[in-house]
Structure 1
């Protein structure tokens, strides 16, 4: 497994900067070491018989395998329970950076299309559908770029909900797929992206919450990984 970087730690929880390429939770289909394994092997988790805590290894939420950035992990069942309640109440703020195709306009706005799981062979994928669950993504353009005749927008995205693949699904439906997204992007385009960006360009840059035990305001930022930084440096910034 790639090295795990805790960027915040106290008696009750970690925030780690999850590396891309690492799966968060164990599953029968996962053959590699996971973040859950790392947490359990740290010897800092409370010994307990709590089923939910054991099932999750203290992990309070998920990030896609190839998404990097802030991930919350509780060290004991009480902290996990309080974090899960904060997520349910939408009182944990997650801010992402996403590099997408095209010139996103307006420069600031909402994507509010409902999202549901696909059917049949596409059950692992998600899509916008009227029958889906509510999903709200607030975005703002941070920079605009050009590269090899194509335009790109660097977005900050604040998730009001936490649906699986939410940013990737919303961006693709808006005709601005995330760079190098091989699931929701156009196949030929995402394959061309992979020449200069080895994974989808999506990073959980910041997480903000009220600490579940102390009540103090907590904001943690995860530095942009070198691979995404290198991809961004290939682009020409536009005024």
Structure 2
């Protein structure tokens, strides 16, 4: 994998990432922004997608070439003749150009494999792919009948103490329900287990923002929270598709679980929270 490693020198301390890349790579700001948006830039081993991110002296910048995702092998959580469930990293689309779908199609030399649903670019975790059109249709119909159980983990701003909080605010004039149980909380942050029975666009992110506890690192719904400037820089959108369970027409039940990402543990610790997988209170 081709990459360029750059250490931030004294004259560039405090520069924005986009300005630094423009000068260092000798490209326009427009092209520097494209490189950042393609999730090809890492700062101190963490992907950074904020063009205005301020650099610190001796930061380690890694810029990967355009084929960065081309041969990525995603952790497989479940596989059968019809389905594949992988652990999607954050920073990559579920389908479309340079997506999980495209990479797996290329790696397996078949265009039949399709993402059966979508996770947001910056959400990690369980993603189902169908190996043929019939399998994809089965998943689509299963989702429509609410026979899919999806559980997420999230770190949100502020103290949210909920044994079981149900948010039923309609989204886009459609019914939506998000069920939340707090695992840990302090004044700065809360670690949540979340279940959804509907799958509206950005449902979890919108529902949590609506009650004043947006997901950390959500730059669409969470930028206005007063704690944003009081806590350490967020490495990513802190939302992870932890577990998925669904039943097939044959009545076979399939379950997959994506391990809690390392950055969740590390960032939670910075906030004074401790994550113990064996102590998560499942819904």
TM-score by length of 1: 0.78
Q: Structure 1's 87 and 226: CA in aligned 2 closer, same or farther, altered over 3 A?
A: same
Q: Is the 8 A contact 2:158 2:227 kept in 1?
A: no
**How many residue pairs align between the two structures?**
204
Deviation string, structure 1 residues 178-209 (Cα, Å, up to 9, x no partner): 11211101347575478432111100000001
Distance 2:252 2:160 in 1: 36
Runs of 4+ in 1 over 4 A off after TM superposition: 44-47, 188-191
Out of 189-198 and 102-111, give the one that drifted further.
189-198
Q: Secondary structure at the match of 1:115?
A: coil
Deviation string, structure 1 residues 138-197 (Cα, Å, up to 9, x no partner): 11111113xxxx431111111110011111100000011111211101347575478432
Gaps of 5+ in 1: 48-56, 117-131
Distance 1:44 1:90 in 2: 32
Deviation string, structure 1 residues 86-142 (Cα, Å, up to 9, x no partner): 0000101110001111222443120111112xxxxxxxxxxxxxxx22111011111
Q: What is the RMSD computed on CA atoms of the aligned residues?
A: 2.2
Distance 2:109 2:254 in 1: 21
Deviation string, structure 1 residues 41-62 (Cα, Å, up to 9, x no partner): 1337575xxxxxxxxx521110
Q: Secondary structure at the match of 2:85?
A: strand
Match of 2:88 in 1: 18
Q: Is the 8 A contact 1:182 1:190 kept in 2?
A: no
Q: Is the 8 A contact 1:180 1:190 kept in 2?
A: no
Q: Secondary structure at the match of 1:139?
A: strand
Q: Structure 1's 34 and 237: CA in aligned 2 closer, same or farther, altered over 3 A?
A: closer
Q: Secondary structure at the match of 1:232?
A: helix
Name which of 58, 67, 72 aligns with 2:128.
72
Q: Structure 1's 45 and 102: CA in aligned 2 closer, same or farther, altered over 3 A?
A: same
Name which of 169, 176, 186 aligns with 2:223.
186
Q: Structure 1's 96 and 160: CA in aligned 2 closer, same or farther, altered over 3 A?
A: same
**Structure 1 residue 229: deviation in Å?**
2.1
Match of 2:267 in 1: 231
Match of 1:203 in 2: 240
Structure possessing the higher relative contact order (Cα contacts under 8 Å, 6 or more residues apart): 1
Distance 1:59 1:106 in 2: 33
Q: Is the 8 A contact 1:181 1:190 kept in 2?
A: no
TM-score by length of 2: 0.66
Q: Structure 1's 184 and 224: CA in aligned 2 closer, same or farther, altered over 3 A?
A: same
Distance 2:78 2:262 in 1: 20
Distance 1:202 1:186 in 2: 15
Q: Is the 8 A contact 2:162 2:180 kept in 1?
A: no
Q: Is the 8 A contact 2:180 2:194 kept in 1?
A: yes
Distance 1:18 1:61 in 2: 12
